Amino acid sequence: MPEIEIDPTTRIEGHHSTTLNVENGEVTEAKSHMDMFRGMELVVLNRPPSDAPVFTQRVCGVCFSVHRQTSLLAIENAARNAGVFDGIPETARKMRNLLESMATLWNHAVHMFALVGPDYSDAVADTGLTRLDPMEGEGYTAALEAQRKLLQGFAEFGGKAPHPLTYAPGGMSANPTIEKLQQIRDQVAFVSEWLGPTDAVPDVVENVRNGEFDDSLGAGLHDIVSILLAAKEAGADDFGVGPGRYYCNGIYPDANGEDKIPAGIYVDGELSHPSDAEIKEAITESTARSWYTDDSGGSPMEASPPKPDPDKADAYSWGKAPRYDGMNMETGSLARLIVTERDPFDLRATLGGDPTKSSTLNRLIARAQEALLLRDQILDILDDIDPNGTVNVGWSDDFSGEGVGLWEASRGALSHWVKVEDGTITNYQIITPTLWNLGPRDESGTPSIFETAVEGMAVEDVENPINVMRTVRSFDPCLACSVHVESPEASYTEEITPASPGGAMTGVGDTPVAGEEVDEP
């Protein structure tokens, strides 16, 4: 029985690998390995609550805004529970919703063109889709420009990207001036024209099937539909099939506190909308197969911050195994559309065979559908922001309480859990969507969603298990959110070169002016 080791499994990040046992051309067992220790929760201990968003946003350079946002929700929830906070102003709420919508749309573009698109390109899979070829294809390079425009627009309110500066406890620290609003509109307009009109989807599907290309209907839309039809041709509607259980935290609150996308649980064909309290009560983390001590698992609010146990028997991952009422749950764009009962243009019903099916193809379709919905949502929010509105109500770290931030990253449900005593963080936990989708087995031996999805898959070529790779990438895994490197004790020298009028930060032609010895644990 051959064993296949795939390492790494993602294009822009390492630290995830997969072990497959294959018998008679079929995967009999899969193990999802997160290969580095995660310790961001330890960094924020013994600090004031307002420090947490600043540090935790640096969990990842891809999911940068959502960690800051979710951390803010956690500490604001704790302050509200302590009776010292009433909520952020309306203008700040709209600004956060705008930035989060833009960040997710940017993330979808990165995923569809840089991470998943090459799997269906001519260069990788001999599909004839040369526009998707990495670095050289016209569609690939056009998508890079669209991504750049989105981040430029994001930085108008966020201060910079990645790692925005203006999401602040109590609201925002930037004012939505008329000039900034117009700058964002200009950048979004560029992206919108590249993407194409939402109502053009049926015509574009027909164009791609007929080998036609109409720029007036959106070059980006043609390329995205090309990916979907290539995946359909590859049989992605029938591989990478998960258990069909979905979980969404809810996102984009309105003035009444109701989420535009509500929290939802979909199990055995039944949809429910639990309260935040019910979600918090249902979530646990198993460390049975993780290199952490047993007391690092359980209820996130009560568990110890992660304590490494690298010699633990039967463990094979630095990721934990989150469970909802003991069940593994899929999260992401597909989950969000299922809990809102949306299938724009019936794409998942027609191409995927069933709008609620957990398959590699449906995950791709859902991300494309959500990209169009987000573009339209961004335009609506822009028209609704008052440039003279109040953006912050003030903040004090002087309280004791506990809180949970529930939000949605591009790739799924994200939660931050915090305890504060006398203005100091005493416990902190982060549960990321990639842990939900790609974590290890739990104490009962139940695989994660990804492990479940690839077990039973056919592997025609053990040297190139391409459909397994297509499946893992369909979850849009972000391993930086899930694990972090542990450095040995050592000293490093950092050279800092200032920018000059004629050069970039690399300091071409300049001499480094500062060096600092940094002792890192």
Which residue ranges make up the annotated binding site for Mg(2+)? 41, 430, 484
**Annotation: binding site for Ni(2+):** 60, 63, 478
Q: How far is CA 18 from CA 7, 27, 210, 317, 468, in A?
A: 7, 12, 38, 10, 10
**Annotation: binding site:** 41, 60, 63, 430, 478, 481, 484
CB neighbour class for 479 (10 Å; exposed up to 12, middle 13-18, buried from 19): buried
Do 335 and 476 contact (CB within 8 A), yes or no?
A: no
Long-range contacts of 399-403 (CB under 8 A, 24+ apart): 399/49, 399/78, 399/79, 399/82, 399/84, 399/423, 400/82, 401/78, 401/79, 401/81, 401/82, 402/78, 402/81, 402/301, 403/73, 403/74, 403/75, 403/76, 403/77, 403/78, 403/79, 403/80, 403/81
Instruction: Kindly state the tokens that stand for 20.
Output: 């497959």
Give residues with Cβ within 8 angstroms of 447, minimum separation 6: 30, 328, 441, 455
Cis peptide bond prior to 162, omega within 30° of 0 = yes
Q: Which residue matches tokens 């990721």?
A: 319
The H helix count followed by the E strand count for the chain is 16, 17
Instruction: Kindly state the tokens that stand for 415.
Output: 């939660």
Give residues with Cβ within 8 angstroms of 278, minimum separation 6: none
**Annotation: binding site for Fe cation:** 63, 481
